Amino acid sequence: MKYTLITLVYLAVVGLIAVPLHRYGFKRPLRTFDMTFFGVAFILSAFGELANIQSTNWQYTPKFFGITSHGIVAKGILAAQPVLHLALGYGFLALRRWAVYLGLFYIADVLVSSISSFILYGYGRVRTIFVVLLVPFLIYLIVRQAQFKR
């Protein structure tokens, strides 16, 4: 049976390859497809975020709750962004309760920064995508927070 790399990654993330861990007392969480999808999406977006940061040679000035940062603070925020995505991905895949709160923090930060950029700089494709997608994701996260049990 031939598997592509994407199929192997999907199987590893879903947990089908990690089945022998049951012998050692580990329980695989019962998670729905949407939780798996968002977990994988956050993990993959961490690598995209890191590539984006490296393509700008760490010169990008990120916003933190709408406040533009420079210098060493900006580099710290840039370094934390891929880690935040990885943590959110792990939290969604493991159904950790703290992932809900981390997700709410992330949504608040990105929405405030995007809306402040709208006010200051006007229309932008990426800003529009963030605002349009994060509001339904906020509603989704609030509705589905009971899924996060551990």
pLDDT tens, position by position, 26-59: 565 566 777 888 888 888 888 888 887 777 776 6
Could you tell me the pLDDT band of residue 67, with boundaries at 50, 70 and 90?
A: low
Specify the residue for token string 């580990």. Answer: 26
pLDDT tens, position by position, 125-149: 877 887 888 888 888 888 888 777 7
Structure tokens at 27: 């329980």
Helix (H, G, I), strand (E, B) or coil at 7: helix
Structure tokens at 89: 């991905």
Q: With contact defined as beta carbons under 8 Å apart, do 128 and 101 qualify?
A: no
Q: What CA dihedral angle connects 15, 21, 26 and 30, to 10 degrees?
A: 20
Rounded Cα distance between 73 and 55, Å, is: 19
Rounded Cα distance between 116 and 113, Å, is: 5
Structure tokens at 24: 């050692």
The whole-number average pLDDT for the span 115-121 is 81
Structure tokens at 124: 């932008």
Alpha-carbon distance values, 90 to 57, 59, 86, 150 (Å)? 27, 28, 6, 12
Rounded Cα distance between 86 and 96, Å, is: 13
Angle between helix 98-121 and 71-94 (nearest 10):
140
pLDDT tens, position by position, 68-90: 777 777 777 777 888 888 999 99
